[in-house]
Amino acid sequence: MSVNDKIGVKSRSAAIVAALTLLLTLFVPSVARADWDASVGRGLDVPGVNAVGYLRLGPHYVETPSIDGQTVEETPIWCINARLADPGPNEMTSIETLTDASQWGPTELTVTTPQMAWLLNKYQYNQEDVNLAALAYLIHVNFESNKTGHAQIAVNELIGSVRANLPQVEQRAQQYVQEARQSAVVGYESGGVTGDGQRTGAINGLGQKNGAGSYVAGLPLSVTLNGPAVFDATGTNTWSGTTKSEPVSLTWSATGNGTVSYKAVYHSEVRRTLTKFGADGRVQDMLSYGNRPGSDPREITVDGPSWRVIFDFQPMGVSNVAKISEYGTAASDTAICPGLSHSVNPAGKAASSLRGSIANTPTR
């Protein structure tokens, strides 16, 4: 082979390599971009979903530092378009808050946005591959973007492939669904009051509820009274503690006469929303637990009702004596004195009675 022939072969070989590299760049995103590293973890590959090769079920690191002047937090991001390429540097172009989930899958894999946020808050930094794959799987099933019009088909293929090839991921995902349904908070109770017009009473029914309507225990709660009353447990107008698996009740006592109200502050470190980073139609949109908006605050204040309290003794006389009686007839009467039970009536009844006789004498 002549020198010119060798040069020609090398040129053709270089052209072929360049063409293959271009094809891989266009159609095989896992080869084109190192979209994961030790900071986020890898996850697992699943066949039969991606256009070419395997779909990696796992997180991605952020390659877009800011969008419209808003910094993109360095929190793991998760793909929500199984058939599109991963976004490269500066290819995420929009940011929005997600409150709803698309929920393309069966009941055993269905979660709401607050439930998925709870799972990411607890597990996204656990770099065990099965854990990361299960989270990515649930995100595809519940939040797959339909901008290509094939979300349902892609999710159906993904579920079939995971169940056939990664049963450990399917099992972990279903376990996470049950855990999130029990633990993620979706409601905050304002409670109610007993003891209107009395010296003592209670605030009842405080707590946070999950999607099934059950109370969630162990979450921070503080309550503040406004008006002439204190909590029996603290002797002050404030109480702080944690929620229980049943409604929280707090007894109170009046310190004066007037109107009392209260507010309950639920402290929520876990988001109830998620953040979506949008991209154009060539690459996939992404989901993140980061960039928590002001509309999803860490403290939720719930105002309770107001009521009247009485502290001092306020007797009320009620007479049952006839206004006109015959001359010489003895009269007896009963005086009802609400509020005396604490000092006069040893039986502890709501009212005490004082009975006496009055001699009827003629008037001039």
User: In the listed set 254, 288, 322, which residue is the last one of a domain according to the structure?
Assistant: 288
Give the gyration radius of the chain's Cα atoms: 35
DSSP code of 198?
B
Q: Is residue 2 part of a domain?
A: no
pLDDT in tens, 55-113: 999 999 999 999 999 999 999 999 999 988 888 889 999 999 999 999 999 999 999 99
Q: What is the pLDDT of residue 363?
A: 43
Q: Which of 260, 288, 316 is the last residue of a domain?
A: 288
CB 185 within 8 A of CB 272: yes
Number of domains comprising the chain: 2
**Residue (of 228, 237, 231, 263) closest to 250 by Cα position:** 231
Same-domain pairing of 72 and 136:
yes
Are 92 and 204 within one domain? no
Same domain, yes or no: 135 and 110 = yes
Give the Cα separation of 238 and 223 in Å (integer). Answer: 6
Report which of 68, 43, 115 is spatially closest to residue 278, judged by C-alpha positions. 68
Same domain, 83 and 215: no
- Residue 62 and residue 131 in one domain: yes
Q: Are residues 208 and 110 in the same domain?
A: no
175 and 91 in one domain?
yes
Do 160 and 224 belong to one domain? no
Do 218 and 252 have their domain in common? Answer: yes
Low-confidence ranges of the chain (pLDDT < 50): 3, 6-7, 9-10, 14, 17-34, 339-364
| Domain containing residue 260 | 187-269
Same domain for 145 and 129:
yes
